[in-house]
């Protein structure tokens, strides 16, 4: 399971600035269990979008959005709603949002933040997709996660080392930031790279489980003993 929380509607509307028609994709898996994308909360989001003057071309529910094949199939069955939309708002975990981005030639906006729950990657298993950082920035990166696509998890651009589109750490891996640039350019949104995402709340990104089981982590959590006479 990947746990998700809803992004504030103000942040979502900021992503949709200048776009009047939007398709909503809502996951029936983990994020529905978190009360983010279940039918009731998805309908609430649609209502808020419409109250803000947006036209919602449809709501597509996908059983497990992180199943990239199933997501592509479901979207292909709603082509009219996809084509009528300027962009897609996804209520799903980070892996699900990326599965939608891989399936449509439209800008894809995250409606959620995935929060740390142990590194589970959902059903799109070929590679890690989401580090559950709690501050989803896929809107800025064309629906490709820099945490997982870049070998160094660089969040604000390339390290300057890629050669012929390959990562300097591993010549058999495509540079995540080259992929992000190519994707944004194909969407006509390369200018998005000039905008900085808001400051991140790193308290929402817990260390991986193994670190938390280490003795160092335990020591960090231990209250220092007070010397005699101290309050
Ligand atoms: S930015 Fe990446 S790690 Fe963070 S929630 Fe989005 S997909 Fe997950
Ligand atoms: S070459 Fe690209 S993917 Fe590799 S570490 Fe540098 S920016 Fe990241």
Asked, for residue 195, whether it belongs to a domain, the answer is yes
Q: What is the pLDDT of residue 121?
A: 61
Q: What is the pLDDT of residue 117?
A: 65
Q: What is the pLDDT of residue 205?
A: 75
177 Cβ below 6 A of ligand 2: yes
Ligand 2 test: best mutation among 166, 168, 182, most atoms within 8 Å of CB?
168
Of 41, 129, 152, 153, the closest CA to residue 91 belongs to: 41
Domain span including residue 183 = 3-199
Q: Are 96 and 127 a contacting pair, CB within 8 Å?
A: no
What's the 32 CA to ligand 2 centre distance in angstroms?
34
What's the 4 CA to ligand 2 centre distance in angstroms?
27
Asked, for residue 224, whether it belongs to a domain, the answer is no
Tokens coding 18: 């200048």
User: Which atom of ligand 1 approaches the CA of 112 most closely?
Assistant: 5
Asked, for residue 212, whether it belongs to a domain, the answer is no
Asked, for residue 185, whether it belongs to a domain, the answer is yes
Nearest CA to ligand 1 atom 8: 130
What CATH number has the domain bearing residue 177? 3.40.50.11860
User: Which atom of ligand 2 approaches the CA of 162 most closely?
Assistant: 1
| pLDDT per position as a tens digit, 114-138 | 987 665 666 666 677 888 889 999 9
What's the 225 CA to ligand 2 centre distance in angstroms?
44
Asked, for residue 222, whether it belongs to a domain, the answer is no
- In 44-179, beta strands by DSSP E: 55-62, 87-91, 108-110, 112-115
Q: Are 41 and 78 a contacting pair, CB within 8 Å?
A: no
Nearest CA to ligand 1 atom 5: 136
Q: What is the pLDDT of residue 110?
A: 98
Ligand number with the minimum distance to the CA of 148: 1
Ligand 1 test: best mutation among 66, 94, 120, most atoms within 8 Å of CB?
94
How far from 49 is each of 39, 62, 67, 137, CA to CA, in Å?
A: 15, 20, 26, 20
Looking at the structure of the chain, the number of domains it has is: 1
Output the tens digit of pLDDT for each of the chain's 231 residues. 678 899 999 999 999 999 999 999 999 998 998 899 999 999 999 999 999 999 999 999 999 999 999 999 999 999 999 999 999 999 999 999 999 999 999 999 999 999 876 656 666 666 778 888 899 999 999 999 999 999 999 999 999 999 999 999 999 999 999 999 999 999 999 999 998 887 888 777 765 555 555 555 555 555 555 555 555
User: Which atom of ligand 2 approaches the CA of 153 most closely?
Assistant: 8
Q: Are 60 and 42 a contacting pair, CB within 8 Å?
A: no
What's the 19 CA to ligand 2 centre distance in angstroms?
32
Asked, for residue 225, whether it belongs to a domain, the answer is no
User: Which atom of ligand 1 approaches the CA of 134 most closely?
Assistant: 5
């Amino acid at each position: 399971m990947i746990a998700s929380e809803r992004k504030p509607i103000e942040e979502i509307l900021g992503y949709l600035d200048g776009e009047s028609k939007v398709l909503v994709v809502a996951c029936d898996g983990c994020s529905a269990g978190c009360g983010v994308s279940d039918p009731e909360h998805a309908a609430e989001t649609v209502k808020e979008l419409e109250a803000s003057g947006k036209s919602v071309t449809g709501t597509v529910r996908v059983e497990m959005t992180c199943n990239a094949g199933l997501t592509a199939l479901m979207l292909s069955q709603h082509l009219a709603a996809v084509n009528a939309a300027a962009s897609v708002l996804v209520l799903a975990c980070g892996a699900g949002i990326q599965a939608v981005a891989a399936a449509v030639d439209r800008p894809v906006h995250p409606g959620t933040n995935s929060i740390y729950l142990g590194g589970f990657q959902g059903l799109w298993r070929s590679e890690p997709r989401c580090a559950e950082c709690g501050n989803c920035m896929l809107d800025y990166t064309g629906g490709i996660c820099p945490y997982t696509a870049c070998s160094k998890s660089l969040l604000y651009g390339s390290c300057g080392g890629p050669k012929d589109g390959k990562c300097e750490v591993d010549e058999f891996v495509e540079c995540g930031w080259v992929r992000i640039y190519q994707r944004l350019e194909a969407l006509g949104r390369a200018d998005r790279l000039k905008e900085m995402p808001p400051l991140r709340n790193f308290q929402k990104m817990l260390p991986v489980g193994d670190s938390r089981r280490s003795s160092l982590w335990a020591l960090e959590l231990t209250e220092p003993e007070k010397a005699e006479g101290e309050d």
